[in-house]
Amino acid sequence: MNLFASAIQWILDPANYVGLNAIPLRIGQHVAFSLVTVLIASAIAIPLGYLIGHTGRGRGLAVTTSGGLRAIPTLGLLTLVALWVGIGVVAPYVALTVLAIPPILAGAYTGFEAIDRRTVDAARSVGMSELQIVRKVEVPLGLPLLIGGLRSATLQVIATATLAAYVADLGLGRYLFSGLKTRDYAEMLGGSILVILLALTLEGIFALIQRFVVPRGVSGRLGTTPALRTGSATAAR
């Protein structure tokens, strides 16, 4: 408990708000790094997930590959990439993108798969092209699960982005490493608390987003298969 108090004291200490190691600066780096990572991962995983979800092909491959990606130890991958490209931010970006891809990919294709086939068939029978079906039916209806995937990816990246400090002067991980190595446990725990707070804040934001992106007709059915008896007309319009 004493340690916890000194960690809070460390967070509130004005001395930690100036210079190149200031807490706001580290938080800013951490958030920016994490968001860019999730963006890169999204750029790869969302189109791929949509393709799999829409065509229904390659699902087995996607499941196995993303399962495999999940099993890769991030620090090991980080070291391996850093030995190849050198120290700096590139290696952490690569390692954490690999970490973020599986949940986003899963969110993208399960979002499509969860849609009632009848809705898709109805869209097709009223004369929508495949592209229109994707854009006007599948993407909006699949959005809640996709946001769920993004949410889980962001949470993992925020928590694991501390590893960036292993090879770069970046993020909240700096407090963890230097606190650990110099037995400054107040700093270490303080840094951890900041990471936790950051993760919880982003969780909250995503919970709100998830609530707002549900198409009007489907709201209230979050988490269950969106059976779209009434919603299809609204969403497909």
Partner 1 sequence: MFTITRGRLALVSAVAVGAVVALAGCASGDPLDEGNSSSSGSDTIVVGSQDYYSNEIIAEIYAQALENGGYTVERQFRIGQREAYLPEIESGAIDVFPEYTGSLLQALEPDAAGGTADETYAELQDALPDGLAVLDKADATDQNSWTVTQAFADTYGLTDIASLTKVTEPITVGGNSELETRPYGPTALKEKYGINIAGFTPVEDSGGPLTVKALVDNKIQLANIYTADPNIASNNLVALDDPDGLFFPDNVVPVVSDKVDDGAAEIINAVSAKLTADTLVALNSQSVNDQAAADTIATQWLTEAGLL
Q: How far is the CB of 226 from partner 1 (least distance, A)?
A: 40
**Read out DSSP for 152-168?**
HHHHHHHHHGGGGGGTS
Residue type, 128: M
Give the binding range for partner 1 (CB under 8 A) out of 62-70, 83-91, 133-141, 154-162.
83-91
90 binds partner 1 (CB under 8 A): no
Q: Cβ(17)–Cβ(29) under 8 Å?
A: no
Give the angle subtended at the CA of 215 by the CAs of 209 and 218, to the nearest 5°: 110
Q: In the bound complex, what is the minimum distance in angstroms from residue 89's beta carbon to partner 1?
A: 11
Q: Which stretch binds partner 1 (CB under 8 A): 86-94, 150-158, 209-217, 219-227?
A: 86-94
Q: Judge contact between 207 and 152, C-beta under 8 A.
A: no
Q: How far is the CB of 215 from partner 1 (least distance, A)?
A: 46
Q: What residues from 139 to 198 belong to the interface with partner 1 (CB under 8 A)?
A: 165-169, 174, 177-178, 180-183
108 to 127, 140, 171: CA distances (angstroms): 25, 11, 29
CB nearer partner 1, residue 87 or residue 233 = 87
CB of 6 to partner 1, least distance (A): 16
Tokens of 72: 């890769």
**Site residues (vs partner 1, CB under 8 A):** 79, 82-83, 86-88, 165-169, 174, 177-178, 180-183
